[in-house]
């Protein structure tokens, strides 16, 4: 059967993350994978199992998640997004569908992922978000972006990120490579933290963002980052920021693997 790849966007507030969750003694949790597979089953009139490139946590958003599945169909590939979108809830959308190579794996074949964490900061009455409150983290404390830029740069490179991961990360190795990490003020009360790498541990981006924001607030020193990286001690890193400020922005594959059309 042919393999089909799709690119998905979702507002994650009302979802329990990407991965399908079906507790034996409770109704299934509402997840991205679960809603997608219901829509696929309705469209193709058979059970379809999907694999997703990133297991985003509860409340985390995505501009460009990638998933893949196999199915025999006469529906033109270009019409699959529209057909699925009529069956999906309003907080998720399929943006594109294409035919990758048969052994394409959205998880294994990803060469780089990019995330953004967005923060609204400053005086409580003046800047608390209203219209985008579900997609931005609010802090009433003013942050200085200059030390945050220095802090972000310290994460670039290959490091052991044990101190910047949840204890239940479930990975054999905590070594990851960060290709880029930048903090930027996009307005007087908004800061974005953009980070890309070859892979991320459970809660890793939210902990890195928590560390950078603590430095911006003046509550941590830059030296704490190096100490945490060298020791692997989670207590030396910053807090895990809430999920609403985080979004998966993009996933890159080598051209010969994904064959994704422009």
Q: Is the pLDDT of residue 128 over 90?
A: no
pLDDT tens digits, one per residue of 35-69: 999 999 999 999 999 999 998 999 999 999 999 99
Q: Measuring CA to CA, which residue among 30, 94, 19, 108 is closest to residue 64? A: 94
Question: Predicted confidence band at 260 (pLDDT cuts at 50, 70, 90)?
Answer: low
Which of 25, 42, 57, 194 is labelled catalytic? 57
Identify the pLDDT of residue 227.
98
Give the C-alpha separation, 235 to 223, whole Å: 14
Domains in the chain, CATH or no CATH each? 3-108 (3.30.70.580), 111-249 (3.30.70.660)
Average pLDDT of the chain? Answer: 94
Q: HSE-up of 132 (CA within 13 Å, CB side)?
A: 12
57 is an active site residue: yes
Identify the pLDDT of residue 85.
98
pLDDT tens digits, one per residue of 77-100: 999 999 999 999 999 999 999 999
Q: What is the DSSP track for 13-29?
A: GGSS-SS----TTSPPP
Q: Dmax of the chain from CA atoms? A: 59
pLDDT tens digits, one per residue of 129-185: 889 999 999 999 999 999 999 999 999 999 999 999 998 787 889 999 999 999 999
């Amino acid at each position: 059967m042919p393999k089909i790849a799709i690119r998905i966007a979702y507002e994650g507030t009302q979802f329990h993350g990407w991965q399908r969750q079906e507790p034996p003694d409770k109704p299934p949790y509402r997840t991205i994978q679960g809603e997608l597979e219901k829509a696929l089953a309705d469209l193709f009139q058979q059970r379809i199992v999907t694999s997703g490139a990133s297991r985003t946590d509860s409340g985390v958003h995505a501009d460009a998640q990638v998933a893949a599945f196999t199915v025999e169909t006469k529906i033109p590939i270009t019409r699959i997004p529209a057909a699925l979108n009529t069956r999906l809830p309003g907080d998720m959308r399929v943006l594109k569908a294409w035919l990758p190579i048969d052994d394409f794996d959205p998880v294994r074949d990803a060469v780089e992922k990019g995330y953004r964490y967005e923060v609204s900061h400053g005086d409580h009455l003046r800047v608390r978000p209203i219209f985008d409150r579900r997609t931005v983290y609010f802090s009433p404390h003013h942050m200085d972006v200059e030390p945050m830029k220095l802090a972000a740069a310290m994460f670039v490179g290959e490091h052991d990120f044990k101190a910047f991961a949840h204890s239940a990360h479930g990975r054999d190795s905590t070594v990851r490579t960060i290709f880029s990490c930048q903090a930027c003020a996009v307005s007087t009360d908004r800061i974005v933290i953009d980070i890309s790498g070859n892979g991320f541990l459970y809660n890793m981006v939210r902990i890195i963002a928590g560390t950078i924001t603590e430095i911006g607030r003046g509550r941590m020193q830059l030296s704490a980052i190096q100490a945490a990286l060298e020791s692997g001690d989670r207590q030396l890193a910053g807090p895990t920021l809430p999920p609403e400020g985080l979004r998966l922005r993009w996933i890159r594959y080598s051209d010969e693997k994904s064959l994704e059309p422009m």
